[in-house]
Structure 1
Amino acid sequence: MSPRPPLPARARSVLPPWLAHALRAQRGPVPWNAVTRGALAAGPLLLVAVLVDRTGLGVVAAVAAMLAGINDRPGSRRASVKRLGAPALAGAAGLLVGTYAGDLVGAVALTVVLTGLGLLAGTMSAVGPVASGAGTQLLVGAAIGAGMPVPESGWARALAFLAGAGWLLALRLALPTPGAMTGDFRFDGERDAVARVYDAVAELLDAAGAEDAIARRAALTAALDHAQDALAGPRLRRYASSSAERRLHAQYAAALPLAEAATALAWAGEPLSERSSVGPRRLAAAVRENTHTGPLPAPSRSGPALRALDDALLRAADAFDQGGGGDLHTRRRGARALLRAAFGAGGREYGLRVALSFGAGAAVAQALYHSQWYGRHTHWYWLPATAVFLVKPDLGPLVSRVLCRAAGTVLGALLFAGFAAVLPRPEGLVALVALCGALIPVSTRHFAAQTAVATVLVLSLVMVGGEPQASAARIAETLLACAIVLIVGHLPMPGERGGQVRARLAAAADAAHAYLAHVLADSADFAGSGAPGGSGASGTSGGSGDRATRWTLRREAYRTLAEARSASALAAHELPALARHTEGTDEVAAVLERLVDTTTACAVHLDDTGRLTDRHRERLAELLGELAEGRERVGLPPSAPQPVPTG
């Protein structure tokens, strides 16, 4: 999820952080292409199922399309294959397991099974956004399979779920984007993502020496992250033999040295002439229009970073024409790093909270289901499924999620009660499902709005399936789920609180140290010093011999740093009882950011001179000292000693 814009200064000074976050909403143009796909997904699928008298399977397919629509974010088509497909596969597996577990075991054993799935999904979700989406759909599918009164078999339900998500994915791959850029429309998302990188480079160059340089550098990191994801999906053509495919890789690879030079210039803190940003802007236009670059104005070559910028522009113009970009877009994370994310302190804490919330929701729901309270209402699975969304930190701080979920559910239930009183059945409800599907991509800008739209859609599906109007039950179960997740969220867990934030911060620190060690290994100041990897001026780490590795390490350092800063910012907006456990982590992340920026400036200077200046050495020593103190203050283990050249 992209960062939400800050509140005005007056609102920030009046509202506590946990309430201010709940009132924020993302902004931007309406994604009309996603709106079109949403309108063509759940509603038409449900209509076809009603016409062929398979309403139950149509409801399952519509739910899958709704969940896929929530994940249908801006980006490239290739990235959408993994972003939509992996969660859909997990959801189908959960549906299959939940169906047979619900049929074969009793209430107590079923609760144990669901709790175990919650632990698995929670630890898996700590790996990254796609894994988190897969974990969510795994649990939602399991709850639906165990509790939804559908006569079809588990395999039929799972296939219907895959069909619903697969239909939306097929629309994503097949439909052209309105106003798509020149060329093969299948690559419009990739071209837009790469072009935004060049725009971000130009904006950073314009901001050099100004107060917003740090914000512009963060925007450049976000643009590079987005482009990296856009290019990292499966090939759209076999063997990737198309010239458009090769050109995109070349254009992304050519942006990396430009981003490096721009970061070094911003670190120097000296304003640049307007001429410096003209070249990157022309490159951005060439990407968007799928044309040649034409002549690029050369910036002044009066310093190492400016010479690096000029060289990068020349290489970019050449790479645009030749189209040989390699695979620098690939994020190289080994199995050990993924396992550490899943089963480390952060993953364990997250997994336990998801398991307890999901399991407690299932236990309470089944207890109520077998009591007099439910009456005719048989959708007990709503309670654990709601708890799954509430326990996910991807959607914001805990109290913000709870407030938004409660408000959105009440609003959605009241709206549906009004619609149900006047709409014809089933055609009116099918049309309402189609409308909600179209609104899902817009509603994802605020969790309360998303909840309201999803509530109307789900209640419509319930009535199409032959059940009575259930707005009151939906509100009651949501409030119960909110209470369960609030309690579980404040329970003490084994180990230190804030494990997820510290895990991401530790990963960012490790990536920053790896990047620094790689750059310093080529410093002439290390010649003969016995420093790890030292190779003197003729080495291959910081110099031209192994720049691809350096750029990969730099990307990983900035990317993990952005993830750590996001996790720390979310934790800071929790209630004070939770926020105090991660105090100081934002300061450590800020030191890491300055360290990576300084390392980038060192790399560019070493390319030009082979030695560091006194300013570089003093700044590195200062930042490493601050980082060591910060790690101790927030409870992170000390890092391996980092040698700093002394001249």
Structure 2
Amino acid sequence: MTAPTIPANRAPADWIRAVLRVAPAQFPVGHSLRAGLSVGLPFVVGVLLGQTLNGMWVGLATLLLAAGEREGSYRLNFSIIAVSTPIAACGYLLGFAQNLPLPALVLIAAVVAFAAGAIAGLGSAFSVAGMQFLLVAAIALGVPHVDWWTAMGLYFVGGVFYALLLAIEMLVIPRRPQRIVLISLLGALSDLAAARAADLADGGDRTVAARRQATSAYQNAVGRASELAARPSWSTRVWVMDGEVLSAADRVQAFLVAASDAAAVEAARARLSALASEVAATARSHRRDTRPTTPPADSGSTVDLLGRHTDELDRLLHSGGPAKTPHEPLLTMTLSHEVMMAACRLSLCYAIAVAAKLYFPFSHWFWVPLTVCLVMKPDFGSVFSRAVLRVLGTAVGAAIATVVLLAVPKGWAIGLVIGLLSACVPYLMMRSYALQAVAIAPAVILLVDVIQPGDASANFSIQRIGATIMGGAIVLVFGYLIWPHSRRVWISETFATAMNRIADHLQLAASPIPDSPADAARRHDDLVGARRAAYSALSDLQFRLRRALAEPGVGGRTAAAWIPAVSAADRLADLVTAYAGQRHEGAIPADPISGTEMAWEISEAGGAPDRPPAEINSCDPDGPLTGISGELAHLTSLVEPVEADR
């Protein structure tokens, strides 16, 4: 393995900034309206009909579904509802076990928590289902004197109600998920073109950051393209998003990175910006005769490859016809070692939290396991920072709930407040984990307040804060500190994978182009696949880096030390892409020997070579691989061999 030199200290302000980082996000109008209506309306109707408790059970179900909804396709979110609703509803069955001896209760909690953590490896829907099951189970274990069959049935009512609201949005705006990511993709490509043109003009280094954004936008679009086809008659006159369109966009990105003609890049930028504006305009008008005019390509722009691929993207975007994108399977079956280890940590912490019935002397002890399962979800980022943010956010949320309970009369007015808080959840959970807790905590407190009404209900907020601190402490000690595996940042392994993928891309790019059209097409497909694999591995590396930066101590210092090397790897990948573009144009000859040798050097710099050593010759100082060689030398100077991340 390799790693950079790790500094002895890291400024506390750097870690605090990483933990409290607020991500940019657009306000999800449909999701927020659906969350507010689905949670607040059942509560208000229940109050007006004298069935407040039943309204609360429905609202609790829809609150969990709103928090579990992803900013993805309708197909994904319907699958989440279909999978998570029956699994989560079964959590109420643990209510029948709440009077068992505590050792038996703790054992049952450990088993079900392990199962809930393990099924996270089956896909997004099962990951959400596992979390919701544990949340419901925590309430069922801690709230006495409830008809759990009724609560289970009303959870299904909440699931149907939430699915109905989602279906209404799908009928009104059938392709909203695709439109959002398509606008983002075209905008990111336009930004990449602007950055590339600026770099060609003044020799700057803006392309790498812009290409990262374009890669992320492309990957998001690929995920949304698995949506079930929903093509109104006007769609063939407006725009289409399918696998062919995304492949064309990917080719445009590659040739933007490889471009050396500033005028051609600027022309591509103008056209991509116009295409993004056109797709955005369809959100406001679906009339057949309302297609904004996209500026045509210059008469000479189709002569160069960038212009031709931009033309192709424009043509495919307006091609119409049936969708050509295969649907992704809902079941992924990736029960990896990491998933199993996370399930073990979750099982231990959840069992200890359920034992709070013995050592937490308050009626709402069940908020301890509830907090644990929220914090411990393995797909939410750093465990340590989640625990810190959960405590901070819940403390603020509990204070909000206390003010509401003291100031707002009991009854339907509380339901309006619950609806408003729930409407904020989708946006806030996109911005920050702490902000998400600020909205969810008071909504849950106000909902559960119905179970034990009266003047003392405001004290539940104090209990919630105490239980949250207790749950956070359990997670930090038994889910983090005692597990060396969980404190490793794993950047060196991910870095090695990315370097190997870059090496594969370079070796293919340097190979001769076969004379046979069929063989040439196969080589081209392999080359495109290698480039996508390299950029995908670099995206995984960036994700791992951001996640590790939120860790305290040596984990955060290790991540901070990797930043220059990761940036150099991005630049190296872009240089390889530029080299592949020159080879595609026939501007430079094949050089399989030098390409193979340098590919091995790249893999060796990653610390995990997957090819046998070759005799290394010095690079021709005037050759086409000079730039790659120079960046590789710079990258190598930033890392050194180590056993593993410390």
TM-score by length of 2: 0.78
Paired residue secondary structure (2:63): helix
Q: Which residue of 1 aligns with 2:400?
A: 415
**Alignment deviations for residues 407-455 of structure 1 (CA, whole Å, 9 cap, x no partner):** 2222222222222123221223222211211222232222222212222
Aligned to 1:10: none
Closer/same/farther in 2, CA of residues 406 and 258 from structure 1, 3 Å limit: closer
1:366 paired with 2:357, answer yes
Kept after mapping to 1: 8 A contact 2:189/2:253 = yes
Q: Give the drift of 1:383.
A: 0.7
State whether residues 226 and 325 of structure 2, in contact with CA within 8 Å, keep that contact through their aligned partners in structure 1: no
Which residue identity is paired with 1:23? L
In structure 1, how many angstroms separate the alpha carbons of the residues matched to 2:523 and 2:92? 48
Q: Is 2:83 aligned against 1:98? A: no
Shift of 1:220: 0.7
Q: Residues 122-173 of structure 1: CA distance to partner in whole angstroms, max 9, x if unpaired?
A: 344356655543332232233233333362234x433422332443343233
Deviations 1:548-578 (A, max 9, x none): 7765665455344323321222112211144
- C-alpha RMSD of matched pairs (Å): 4.1
Counterpart for residue 296 of structure 2: 296
Map 1:265-344 → 2, pairs under 5 A: 265-267=256-258, 271-273=262-264, 274-290=266-282, 291=291, 296-298=296-298, 307-324=304-321, 327-328=324-325, 338-339=332-333, 341-344=334-337
Q: 1:639 aligns with which of 610, 620, 639?
A: 610
Residues 77 and 551 from structure 1, CA distance in 2 versus in 1: closer, same or farther, beyond 3 angstroms?
Answer: farther
Matches within 5 A, 1:219-618: 219-236=213-230, 244=235, 250=241, 253-267=244-258, 271-273=262-264, 274-290=266-282, 291=291, 296-298=296-298, 307-324=304-321, 327-328=324-325, 338-339=332-333, 341-344=334-337, 346-363=338-355, 365-368=356-359, 373-374=361-362, 377=363, 379-392=364-377, 394-444=379-429, 445-467=431-453, 468-469=456-457, 470-493=460-483, 497-498=487-488, 519=508, 523-524=511-512, 536-538=514-516, 540=518, 543-544=520-521, 554-555=531-532, 557-579=534-556, 589-590=566-567, 593-594=570-571, 596-598=573-575, 600-601=577-578, 603-609=580-586
Per the alignment, residue 634 of structure 2 pairs with none
Structure 2 gaps of 5+ residues are 1-9, 283-290, 618-623, 625-646
Matches of 1:242 and 1:516 in 2, distance apart?
Answer: 45
Q: CA deviation at 1:313?
A: 2.5
2:605 matched to 1:629? Answer: yes
Q: Judging changes above 3 Å, is the alpha-carbon distance between structure 1 residues 381 and 604 closer, same or farther for their aligned structure 2 residues?
A: same
Q: Secondary structure at the match of 2:174?
A: helix
Deviates more, 1:136-145 or 1:69-78: 69-78
- The superposition leaves residues 79-112 of structure 1 with CA deviations (integer Å, 9 ceiling, x where unpaired) of 432455544454234x155345546x53222322
SS in 2 for 1:40: helix
Partner of 1:4: none
Match of 2:14 in 1: 17
CA drift at 1:17: 3.0
* Paired residues for 1:114-125 under 5 Å: 114-125=109-120
**Any residues of structure 2 matched to 1:139-154 within 5 Å, and which?**
139-149=134-144, 151-154=146-149
SS where residue 524 of structure 1 aligns?
Answer: coil
Give the Cα–Cα distance (whole angstroms) in 2 for the partners of residues 80 and 644 of structure 1: 53
Distance in 2 (alpha carbons) for counterparts of 1:425 and 1:540: 74
Alignment of 1:63 onto 2:56: no
Query: How many pairs were matched up?
Result: 590
1:580-606, Cα deviation, whole Å (9 max, x unpaired): 676766567556545654554455445
Distance 2:487 2:523 in 1: 40
> Does structure 1 residue 200 correspond to structure 2 residue 188?
yes
- Contact 1:96–1:142 under 8 Å retained in 2: yes
Matches of 1:233 and 1:288 in 2, distance apart?
A: 19
Q: Where in structure 1 are there 5+ consecutive unaligned residues?
A: 1-12, 178-183, 526-535, 633-637
Structure 2 distance, partners of 1:568, 1:584, is: 10
Cα contact 2:489–2:555 (8 A) shared by 1? no
Q: CA deviation at 1:204?
A: 0.9
The alpha-carbon distance between structure 1 residues 582 and 457, as it changes in their structure 2 partners (threshold 3 A), is same
User: Kindly tell me: are residues 568 and 27 of structure 1, through their superposed partners in 2, closer, same or farther at Cα, counting changes over 3 Å?
Assistant: closer
The amino acid that maps onto 2:435 is A
Report Cα offsets for 1:195-230 as digits up to 9, x if no partner.
321222121111112422111111111211222222
Contact 1:279-1:298 at 8 Å conserved across structures: no
- 1:468-517 per-residue CA deviation (whole Å, 9 max, x = no partner) reads 41111111101101111111243344768537667766775676677667
Report the 3-state secondary structure (helix = DSSP H, G, I; strand = E; otherwise coil) of the residue aligned with 1:480: helix
Asked whether the 8 Å contact 1:43–1:431 carries over to 2, the reply is: yes
- Deviation digits for residues 18-64 of structure 1 (CA, Å, limit 9, x no counterpart): 21123322334433333322221111112233445554443332222
Give, as a single letter, the amino acid of the residue that structure 1 aligns with 2:56.
V
Is structure 2 residue 16 aligned with structure 1 residue 31?
no
Match of 1:27, SS state, is coil
- Which letter maps to 2:22? A
Aligned equivalents of 2:328, 2:561: Cα separation in 1: 29
TM-score (norm 1): 0.78
